[in-house]
Amino acid sequence: MVLIRAEGLVKTYRAGEVEVPAVKGVDFAIDSKSFVAFVGPSGSGKTTLLNMIGCLDRSTAGKLTVMDTDVGKLDRRAAADFRGRHIGFVFQDFNLIPVLTVYENIEYPLIMVQDWPESKRREQIARLLEAVGMSGQEKKRPDQISGGQKQRVAVARALATNAQLVLADEPTANLDHDTAYRIIELMKKMRDELGTTFIFSTHDPKIMSEAEVIFQLEDGRIHRQPLPQPQPKVALHA
């Protein structure tokens, strides 16, 4: 089943008189439950594309359908509502709330968006903490855990509301290679267990090769799409 479809999608930023073409007419389809990477050099349009899919920004032209919704037609409020209901985000710099505990960080979207009763929240958070390997750490604050652990919490937070889609813009950029690799493996495990579609962007070829579908961006265009399964898994601990 197709979860996301882009047809002639264009994004041009306007900075005063200057127009910056960031995405120059791309077409792609992403199936539900897939594990996808957007790769490409700096400035190639990865963040711009992810922001449009995540309803954080709107296209200039073309059509973008996410879960049967024409997201280009949503106004600000409807976009925020759609995002809260259907999409989870993982960020490069983790974006955990420093004054909240691990538990409270995962709980936050449940209170803000879904307003679940406390017992249901507790159950969901315990399940997610276990799934991301952070059980027993729930009382710690972000400054008491490592970068890799912070990103595990961020993955749990992204999944808290049972989002069908998680977008991760360079989720491994601030992690050492082994930790980065484990975070990607964790996301893949969550995809396997929950059927959540994950789209991440990266510069790292080894991380990229963990994806099942790779969209190669270059200067606002998709270069080749989708590539077949790339090289065999790279042995990291040879």
Considering the complex, what minimum distance in angstroms separates the CB of residue 60 from ligand ATP? 12
Looking at the Cβ atoms of 56 and 74, the one nearer to ligand ATP is 56
Considering the complex, what minimum distance in angstroms separates the CB of residue 34 from ligand ATP? 20
Looking at the Cβ atoms of 47 and 197, the one nearer to ligand ATP is 47
Residue number with the smallest Cβ distance to Mg ion = 47
| Exposed / middle / buried, residue 60 (Cβ in 10 Å: 0-12, 13-18, 19+) | middle
Rounded distance, CA 122 to CA 203, Å?
37
User: Under the criterion CB under 5 A, does residue 44 sit at the interface with Mg ion?
Assistant: no
Looking at the Cβ atoms of 40 and 72, the one nearer to Mg ion is 40
Beta strands in the chain (DSSP E): 2-15, 18-31, 35-39, 61-66, 69-70, 87-90, 165-169, 197-202, 213-218, 221-222
What's the full length of the chain, in residues?
Answer: 238
Residues 190/198, Cβ–Cβ less than 8 Å: yes
In which residue are the tokens 């759609």 written?
82
Which residues here bind ligand ATP, judged by CB under 6 A? Answer: 13, 15, 20, 22, 40, 42-48
User: Under the criterion CB under 5 A, does residue 202 sit at the interface with Mg ion?
Assistant: no
Stretch that binds Mg ion, among 46-54, 72-80, 99-107, 159-167 (CB under 5 A): 46-54
Considering the complex, what minimum distance in angstroms separates the CB of residue 167 from Mg ion? 12
Applying CB under 5 A, among 3, 30, 38, 47 the residue interacting with Mg ion is: 47
C-alpha of 146 from chain center? 20
